[in-house]
Amino acid sequence: MKWPITTIGLDADDTLWHNENLFEDHHRKYCELLSDYHDPKTVERVLYETEMNNLELFGYGVKGFTLSCIETAISLTDGAIKAEEIRRIIDHCRQMLLHPVELLEGVESVLQGLDQRFRLLLITKGDLRDQERKIAKSGIAHHFSHTEVVSDKTVEAYARVLQRNKIHSEQFLMVGNSLKSDILPVLDLGGHGVHIPYRITWEHENVQSPPHDHDNFYQLESIQQLPDLIDAIVLGNNP
Amino acid sequence: MKWPITTIGLDADDTLWHNENLFEDHHRKYCELLSDYHDPKTVERVLYETEMNNLELFGYGVKGFTLSCIETAISLTDGAIKAEEIRRIIDHCRQMLLHPVELLEGVESVLQGLDQRFRLLLITKGDLRDQERKIAKSGIAHHFSHTEVVSDKTVEAYARVLQRNKIHSEQFLMVGNSLKSDILPVLDLGGHGVHIPYRITWEHENVQSPPHDHDNFYQLESIQQLPDLIDAIVLGNNP
């Protein structure tokens, strides 16, 4: 017997609303700030190394990212960077946190249809307060039965979410832009995964290639195609 | 009819393990760092103002605190602080995050007795990753049925925790060092509150005076007195 899908998990950043574009903008300003010292490629490479070294300790989110930016700037300039320039990095951080939430096209109407037929969970990783603020600002929180903010999207983290919500993994379908965080761990548990790539993928979230031969794996170009795909899955006409 | 107590919520920082002492140590080093520019009293006052201005945006936790320290240092020195000194502030931050978790005296044996008779919830606020790391390092996670990390300990946050865990407020007793965060919101909901002050209270958590005339309010000097108090409450011999 197969369990019917009852619950749809949705990632938030770059799945429901734009996020990576803010980081892209920040990176541009950051490279400009350090352009007297190094070319953009070097700045990007060293910043990414610092971020990866700090990830275990600082976690995901704007505040940890900002601390990594400050550290990298000090080290790349051998301490020559001015306090005023560091203040500008913190100001960028504040602007990112204060930025309005911009939904991807079609999100609202897709949720409006799905929330009548499925339990919707918002499953996001990163800084608890940042994520709660974005959810509150998004205006779409009411479509979700509730929100799970996890510190990392591992197999164990998804297993805990499913257990806490009494969902069998076959009843669960996860939608997100990151193969590594949204799709692969859920497929591992026996759930369904719908990958919708965003225009930009953070290097850390890159995995080699989508598991196209996996029965429960699907890929779409836009969230607006999601209702049709789910209809096809539910009716057993695997697309 | 009165509901019997079934669930005990415990705060973590400065209730189960030392935390405020790390901040105290950081404040001392920070004032030293800025001692060429201002006296400690001015440094403390301006840092606290910056923290309060940033609280809504940055939330609780070491990373937001560190960003506030950097901002304050730049502003208090009119930009004269050196990048190397800012790096030292970030290093302090890293040391705080890496610091071993030191349990308060008696915590382990108190939990060992209580977890046989009650469902224990660890309820803590702040940075999700920092708190998860401390819980993992503490060695006492197995005494708890699970952990709730909330971004702020408001009446609404406690109401959500109780609802999610299907606990009537009268069945719930919360233990913690902060009147503002651990006790008053729980009393508001109709639960029980046991206040165990820590040696130091962060100014932001200070409230005027304990609600000594409230029927469900208790105050202890040490967590080692908790089992006896709970026995008295359960047996109806309100101490």
Local confidence pLDDT in tens for the 239 residues of chain B: 578 999 999 999 999 999 999 999 999 999 999 999 999 999 999 999 999 999 999 988 899 999 999 999 999 999 999 999 999 999 999 999 999 999 999 999 999 999 999 999 999 998 888 999 999 999 999 999 989 999 899 999 999 999 989 999 999 999 999 999 999 999 999 999 999 999 887 777 777 788 989 999 999 999 999 999 999 998 876 66
The answer to whether A220 and A230 are in contact (CB under 8 A) is no
Same domain as A80, residue A57: yes
Determine the pLDDT at residue B238.
61
Distance CA B35, CA A213 (A): 64
Q: Is residue A2 part of a domain?
A: no
Three-state SS letters, A35-74: CCCCCHHHHHHHHHHHHHHHHHHHCCCHHHHHHHHHHHHH
What pLDDT sits at residue B14?
96
A 110-149 residues inside an 8 A Cβ radius of B: 127-130, 132, 146, 149
CA B101 to chain CA mean position, Å: 14
The residue segments making up the domain with residue A94 are 20-98
Domain boundary among B82, B98, B114: B98
Spans of chain A below 50 pLDDT? none
Domain annotation covers residue B239: no
- With a CB-CB cutoff of 8 Å, which residues 156-195 of chain B face chain A? 164
Closest by Cβ to B128, choosing from A86, A146, A151:
A151
Q: Is B134 helix (H, G, I), strand (E, B) or coil?
A: helix
Q: Calculate the alpha carbon distances from A19 to A13, A27, A61, A144, B210 in Å.
A: 5, 13, 11, 20, 44
Please check whether residue B210 touches A, CB under 8 A: no
Among candidate residues A168, A170, A165, the one with its CA nearest the CA of residue A144: A165
* ipTM score of complex: 0.87
Is the same domain home to B127 and B207? yes
| Residue at B1 is within a domain | no
Q: What is residue B42's predicted lDDT score, i.e. its pLDDT?
A: 96
In a domain, A119, yes or no: yes
The residue among B110, B134, B114 whose CA lies nearest residue B124 is B134
Within 10 angstroms of residue B6's Cβ, the number of other Cβ atoms is 14
Q: Are strands A172-176 and B119-125 parallel, antiparallel or unpaired?
A: unpaired
pLDDT of the residue at A118: 97
Please tell me whether residues B219 and B134 are part of one structural domain.
yes
A-chain CB neighbours of B57 within 8 Å are: 94, 97-98
Cα A183 to Cα A161, A210, A224, B154: the distances in Å are: 15, 9, 18, 34
Q: Using a CB–CB cutoff of 8 Å, tell me whether A53 touches chain B.
A: no
Which residues of A fall within a CB distance of 8 Å from B80? 83
Compute the distance between CA of residue B14 and CA of residue B133 in angstroms, rounded to an integer. Answer: 16
Does residue A1 lie in a domain region? no
For chain B, what is the radius of gyration of the CA atoms?
Answer: 19
Q: B7-10 and A217-219: which strand pairing?
A: unpaired
How many interchain CB pairs under 8 A, A with B? 87
Q: Answer left, alpha or beta for residue B78, where phi above 0 means left and psi between -120 and 50 means alpha.
A: left
Tokens of B40: 């400690």
Q: Which two tokens stand for residue A95?
A: 């602007």
Q: Are residues A32 and A146 in the same domain?
A: no
DSSP secondary structure letter of residue A101: P
What span, in angstroms and rounded, lies between the C-alpha atoms of B114 and B103? 17
Nearest to A76 by CA among B34, B87, B238, B225: B87
Domain at B56, CATH number: 1.10.150.240
| pLDDT at res. A24 | 92
- Within this chain, do residues A141 and A182 fall inside the same structural domain, yes or no? yes
Domain assignment present for A239: no
The beta-carbon neighbor of B90 closest among A63, A71, A164 is A71
- Into how many domains does chain B fold? 2
B90 contacts in chain A (CB < 8 Å): 67, 70-71
Asked if B121 and B93 sit in the same domain, the reply is no
Residues 6+ apart with CB under 8 A from A70: A86, A89, A90, B70, B86, B90
Which of A70, A79, A129 shows the shortest C-beta gap to B90?
A70
pTM of the predicted protein model:
0.88
- pLDDT given at position A1: 57
DSSP-based helix, strand, coil % in chain A, nearest 5: 50, 15, 35
Q: What integer pLDDT is reported at residue A238 of this predicted model?
A: 61
For residue A196, which amino acid is it? I
Q: CB of B80 within 8 Å of any CB in chain A? A: yes
Domain stops at, among B64, B98, B132: B98
Are B132 and B221 in a shared domain? yes
Residue B57, pLDDT score: 92
B95 contact A CB<8A: no
DSSP character at residue A145: S
Can you name the residues that pair with B123 across neighbouring β-strands?
A: B148
Q: Looking at the structure, do residues B68 and B136 belong to the same domain, yes or no?
A: no
Q: Residue B233's pLDDT is what?
A: 92
B234 neighbors B53 (Cβ within 8 angstroms):
no
The pLDDT score that the predictor gives to residue A22 is 92
Name which of B80, B86, B130 is nearest A74 (Cβ-Cβ): B86
Same domain? For A219 and A120 the reply is yes
CB contact under 8 A, B127 and A132: no
